Amino acid sequence: MGGLGGLLFCVLAGFGAMRAAWPAPRHWSAHDPLRLAMAPAFGLGLLSLVYFAVRTVMGGTGGVVLVAFATLAMGLAGFAWWRAASAEAENREWAKGPTWLWLVFGAVAGVAAFTLTLILIASPHGEWDAWSIWNLRARFLFRATEAAAPFDPLLNWSHPDYPLLVPASVAGLWTWNGGETQWLAAAVAVVFWASAVFVPVLVLARLRGTAMGLTAGLALAGMPLLTRNASAMYADVVVGYFFVAAIGLGLLAIQTRAGRGAAILAGVAAGMAAWSKNEGLLFCGIFVVTFVGVVRSRAELAERIRLVVPLVVGMLLVLAFVGHFKYHFAPANDLVAVGKSASMGARLLDFSRYSVTFWGIAEGILTFGDWLVPPVIVFGVWLALQGIRKVDSGSVVWPFLVAGLQLVGYLVVYVIGSDRLEWQLETSAERLLLQIWPAAIFGLLYLAKDSAATEKR
Amino acid sequence: MSPRNVLAVLLVAGVSFFSIGKFFQEISDFYVRRPEVDGVTQFTFRYAPVRALLPEKGVIGYMTDPAATADELNATAELYLVQYALAPVVVVNSTDQRYIVTNFHVMVTTGSMADQGFKLVREFGNGVAVFENQKWGKR
């Protein structure tokens, strides 16, 4: 069927999963644009799980991968169709927003997408980490006849402990294609870039008004670093997308009638973050704890407890694969391994490391994103103009808090885990900040006051 | 939208538009001057016939010349690219393997390699060859 067929099956699987967990009537419904925007990335995640289970764990052939994934996609679509029969109609109220803002967003997103395409044509194998880690692992997964080959200790320089969503989805698409081709690896990069831009737009448009959604879209599509990192075929945009998708779905579960279905999907998205990069494991912990803990009343707490069960179930569905990979295939992560030998406790008490880390991150924040004006200044002024809305429930601050705690987690890992602290800050701080950027901008916009019209709605 | 809201959105829109525009300009300048074939494809293309020669699993050694190792970052990049080209065979930065693959930038004669105990298996041109380590298994 070719690689395009594989991509279409990913959309089918993703859309089927969205509608199976969060059903809607059989006609095109109000949330379907959001479901469709989320579908390709979710589908690629599912393909990577199937590829890992069939090829690496069970030793099956590529043909078995195709049959298994096609069956899963059609099964999910069928289940979604069956659930649609009894689904409630969705609220069609959807403010269009100012036309000029749509035009500006369209222009910015169009320029960014065109730039992304140019870079992918010029560098189809991506940058250093792409061909030394992600695409290299995809080649191993696709070409190797032995399950353990991609994780050989001789390849420790290529971080064989890194989770497999990106390489296994590329290998899965190559299986559909019947051979390797770089345009499919590029397609994966484009899917996650587009998801990271459009999904926050649609979620915020639903929850806080279209103008707010489009502002988020401008902050994401207009950031050169996001385009540069996606075109480099790194996994930071991927994990950043799943962070913001999980938060968005979590809010939809709390704020709308999507309820438990969206909660399951939020958990799956958080699990997919952990299946994309190790930083996702930290996110899963923060996500669950804050989902239950950041409340302002007992009624809110009771509602969160009701929703956290499906959320954790969704998360565990993916974390089971992560756990199997970590236990059976992945060597220890280098940060953890180094930390063990050099005593994390001693680092914890070395206060000079806090200072170095703090200033390293502060410098990273001030120069972040390749914007003409640092985003902290832009959004500082923006927030002064907009104002912060009344915090009448925990969910108002929850998204920004999750992003903030994720950053604190990174600071702690730098302090206690890093063997070459200054070098690591220099080479990775920008990418870690980028991972948090979509969630942070989403959280900030969710926290801010919108126009009077939206407040009344 | 109130005038304050409009001003706030215009601020983000302006910075965003000009930032991505500047980036596009840089990339389009680079794009028109780019080489016909990208560096990774060009480099790894040299190893395509080696891959056809190798089995589907195993480990192969790697040898480059002092000219390459002088630039440590570049030497590392080239080793990783050879690995990228030859996967799923594992490439190790050592000659202590039965077979080794070379990445030479200067002329090296088979005679000088034979003096070091390496017998030519096949030469592919452009500094790429596979040698058999004659000392392998004799220690």
Per residue in A119-134, pLDDT tens? 999 999 999 999 999 9
- The answer to whether the Cβ–Cβ distance between A139 and B24 falls below 8 Å is no
pTM, 2 dp: 0.95
* Amino acid, single-letter form, for residue A72: L
Contact A144, A167 (CB under 8 A): no
> pLDDT confidence of A93, banded at 50, 70, 90?
low
Burial of A145 (C-beta count, 10 Å sphere; 0-12/13-18/19+): exposed
Which of B5, B56, B83 faces A136 most closely, judged by CB atoms?
Answer: B83
Give the separation between CA B66 and CA B104, rounded to whole angstroms. Answer: 9
Identify the pLDDT of residue A453: 47
Residues 6+ apart with CB under 8 A from B90: A149, A152, A154, A155, B58, B59, B60, B83
Query: For B17-52, what is each residue's pLDDT tens digit?
Result: 999 999 999 999 999 999 989 999 999 999 999 999
- The answer to whether the Cβ–Cβ distance between B15 and A379 falls below 8 Å is no
Identify the pLDDT of residue A398: 96
Identify the pLDDT of residue A96: 80
Residues 6+ apart with CB under 8 A from A355: none
Identify the pLDDT of residue A411: 94
**pLDDT mean over A58-67:** 92
DSSP string computed for A323-381: HHHHHHTPPPPHHHHHHHHT-HHHHHT-HHHHHHHHHHHHHHHHTGGG-SS-HHHHHHH
3-class secondary structure, B99: strand
> pLDDT confidence of A455, banded at 50, 70, 90?
very low
State which H helix or E strand residue B120 sits in: strand B118-125
Peptide bond before A98: cis, by omega within 30 degrees of 0?
Answer: no
**pLDDT mean over A431-435:** 96
**pLDDT mean over A406-426:** 89
Of B71 and A117, more confident: A117
Share of chain B above pLDDT 70, in %: 98
Of A7-21, A367-381, A397-411, A412-426, the one with minimum mean pLDDT is A412-426
- Cβ contacts from A onto B, under 8 A: 153
Could you report how far apart the first and last alpha carbons of chain A are, in Å? 47
**pLDDT mean over A268-276:** 98
Contact A395, A255 (CB under 8 A): yes
Beta carbons within 10 angstroms of residue A380's beta carbon: 11
Give the separation between CA A253 and CA A247, rounded to whole angstroms. Answer: 10
Of A453 and A158, more confident: A158
Helix pair angle (A135-143, B72-86), 10° resolution: 30
Within 8 A of A157 by CB-CB distance, chain B residues are 80
Identify the pLDDT of residue A256: 81
Q: Is the ipTM of this complex over 0.95?
A: no
Residues 6+ apart with CB under 8 A from B115: none
Query: For A288-334, what is each residue's pLDDT tens digit?
Result: 999 999 999 999 999 999 999 999 999 999 999 999 999 999 887 76
Query: For A325-362, what is each residue's pLDDT tens digit?
Result: 999 998 877 666 655 555 777 888 888 899 999 999 99
What is the distance, to the nearest Å, from the Cα of residue A55 to the centroid of all Cα atoms in its chain? 24
- The answer to whether the Cβ–Cβ distance between A143 and B7 falls below 8 Å is no
Distance from CA of A125 to the nearest CA of B (A): 7
Average pLDDT score, chain B: 92
Identify the pLDDT of residue B66: 75
